[in-house]
Amino acid sequence: MSTTTPPGAPARPARRPAEEDGRNEGRDKRRGPRLGRQNLAGWLFSTPFLVLFAVFMAFPILATLLMSFTDFGLRDVTNPLEADFVGFENYVKLFNDEKFLTSLFNTAYFVVVGVPLTIGLGLLVAVLLNNGIDRARTFFRVGFYAPVVTSIVAVAVVWRFVLDPSDGLIAGLAAEVGLTAPDFLGDENLAMPSLILMAVWRNMGTVMVLFIAGLQAIPTEVREAARLDGAGTWGEFRHVTVPLLRPTMLYATVITTIGYLNVFEEPFVMTQGGPSDSTLTVSLNMYREGFNFFHMGYASAMAYVLFVVIMGITVLQLRLLKDNTK
């Protein structure tokens, strides 16, 4: 749409290119010092974090990687400067170490069984609290989340009392009906399932909170449209709730898997890896090699193998589940 100058009005002089360039140059000159001060302020505020990250995170990570290629600790832990470079010897030794392979299998068992149980029960509780339970909803939410913020030592004391074969809660209930409770933590076949049960009970609250947030983000109009189309409770859950919860499910699955691959506190406090290494995990094995036997180079190699496993599984989960969220 063209504009015309009214008759009798003075014509607006056109700006010369040189004049326009001068104005832009002056504006840029004024903006430059301001941006410089903002950048400087940002770096000053970030400096404490950057220093702490470099000293307590970046440097130890790099040092551990370098240490994994040496025999540091295998010979003389008091003279780290005398550690010899051994290349991939520690990594080759790992996959010929029966104890490490056992700990790797136990960790996989813990993850394969524990993650689906945690995700499934967390989703079930979230749906019940979001839809099925109206009274004392806040009380139940706090009750299910309380184990997450409780110290693992306190949790271990409670569960040891519950699982104790002689004076425990389950033993007392079994004695009332004339039965004998099994030794949950002393039986090779029951020790790991018992730890998984405790981990699921302790971590289910985190998954529940995530799913409740996801459920509350689903538009009410979508649910109403599904009901108008004749979808029942199960149909609505299967075709509406689950697809819209897939981003939340992806996040919950990834963080739960990473946490269970790093499982350490449960076997360390409850069983010390026994009986007969049936609950020995990679993290616990790494702790023993590094701090009990002072095989620092070997333990560092074990840490990086676990890191590669975690990274590979996480990337695989992101590829498999992220495609379904598009």
Number of Cβ within a 10 Å radius of residue 271: 22
Provide the 3-class DSSP secondary structure of residue 233. Answer: helix
Q: Quick check: 70 and 86 in contact, CB under 8 A?
A: yes
Which domain CATH number covers 295?
1.10.3720.10
Quote the CA–CA distance of 304 and 122 in Å, as a whole number: 31
Quote the CA–CA distance of 161 and 185 in Å, as a whole number: 11
In a domain, 53, yes or no: no
Q: Quick check: 312 and 240 in contact, CB under 8 A?
A: no
Phi/psi zone of residue 119: left (φ > 0), alpha (ψ -120 to 50 degrees), beta? Answer: alpha
Question: What domain range is 254 assigned to?
Answer: 89-325
Tell me the whole-structure pTM to 2 decimals: 0.82
In a domain, 175, yes or no: yes
**Amino acid at position 176, single letter:** E
For CA atoms 300, 302, 303, 309, give the dihedral sign. positive
Quote the CA–CA distance of 245 and 251 in Å, as a whole number: 10
Quote the CA–CA distance of 155 and 191 in Å, as a whole number: 16
In a domain, 41, yes or no: no
Provide the 3-class DSSP secondary structure of residue 54. Answer: helix
In a domain, 268, yes or no: yes
In a domain, 34, yes or no: no
Q: Into how many domains does the chain fold? A: 1
In a domain, 77, yes or no: no
Q: So what's the pLDDT on residue 193?
A: 94
Q: So what's the pLDDT on residue 326?
A: 47
- pLDDT averaged per 10 residues in sequence order, the chain, 326 residues: 53 53 56 70 88 92 91 67 83 94 96 95 88 69 83 87 86 86 90 94 92 86 78 77 88 94 92 92 94 90 94 90 57
In a domain, 10, yes or no: no
In a domain, 191, yes or no: yes
Q: How close are the terminal C-alpha atoms of the chain, in Å?
A: 42
